Amino acid sequence: MEQKFENLSYSEGSSMQRPPLLESDYVPFTLSKDRKTRIIVPEENWSREHKTDVGKNYQAKLVIFNALPRKEYERVFMLKNTKDIWDSLIVTHQGNTQVIENKIELLVAQYEQFVISDDEKIDIAYSRFNNICSSLKALGTIYTNKQYVRKFLRALLSKWRPKVTSIDELKDLEKLSLDELIGNLKVYEVILDKGEEADKVKKENNKSIAL
């Protein structure tokens, strides 16, 4: 049974900002012989595949429009093709190809130069590291889990060397998740903090004895 689309019409979105939605306005097309000109296919000549594509386009537009606040909607509502809408949003929020490449280069540099300072807690360091990795992932640059784990271990200072060595020896880094690593390091961080506190008390006691 063929599905009809000519009665699809929407006046409001369902989001809290309720942007108005377009009437059905996307129609299939073919390319001219030189592949430079779009030729609209009349509705009476639509194949089943054409109708399926039209339906998918409407559904995709609804998903995007219902998720957009009014300002964003007003920027793209004249675009008929869902891909054009998506591409426009990407350029608006991420920039064009050159801007994206520059962002990736900057983030890769931050990833490669990532280090953890002496007084920085593991949670804070992980938050910084995760922000860099998430930003790279959003721009299409993804490292393996093993690379993430090794990078974070290399960013630790020398006082962590015994723990890093034991993890290298006992853990299969292919299977060790970054979250599991952070949990492991936080336990060792407590041990380091207690050791540093004990050393501090010992030094103070020695000073008192000397006086």
Mean pLDDT of 108-136: 93
The pLDDT of residue 113: 94
Q: What is the pLDDT of residue 130?
A: 93
DSSP string, the chain: -PPP-TT---S--SSTT----PPS----EEE-TTS-SEEEPPGGG--HHHHHHHHHHHHHHHHHHHHS-HHHHHHHTT--SHHHHHHHHHHHHH-SHHHHHHHHHHHHHHHHT----TT--HHHHHHHHHHHHHHHHHTT----HHHHHHHHHHTS-GGGHHHHHHHHHHS-TTT--HHHHHHHHHHHHHHHHHHHHHHHHHHHHHHHHH-
How long is the chain?
A: 211
pLDDT at 120: 92
The pLDDT score that the predictor gives to residue 49 is 85
Burial label, 127 (beta-carbon count in 10 A; 0-12, 13-18, 19+): exposed
pLDDT greater than 90 at residue 111 = yes
pTM: predicted TM-score of the whole model, two decimal places: 0.53
* Cα–Cα nearest to 157, from 127, 196, 118: 118
Of residues 128 and 81, the one with the higher pLDDT is 128
- Rounded CA separation 77/41 (Å): 23
Please write the tens of the pLDDT for every residue from 153-211: 999 998 899 999 988 887 778 888 899 999 999 999 998 888 777 666 566 666 666 55
Query: Averaged over 82-106, what is the pLDDT?
Result: 74
Q: What is the mean pLDDT of residues 138-158?
A: 91
- φ and ψ of 77, to 5 deg: -65, -20
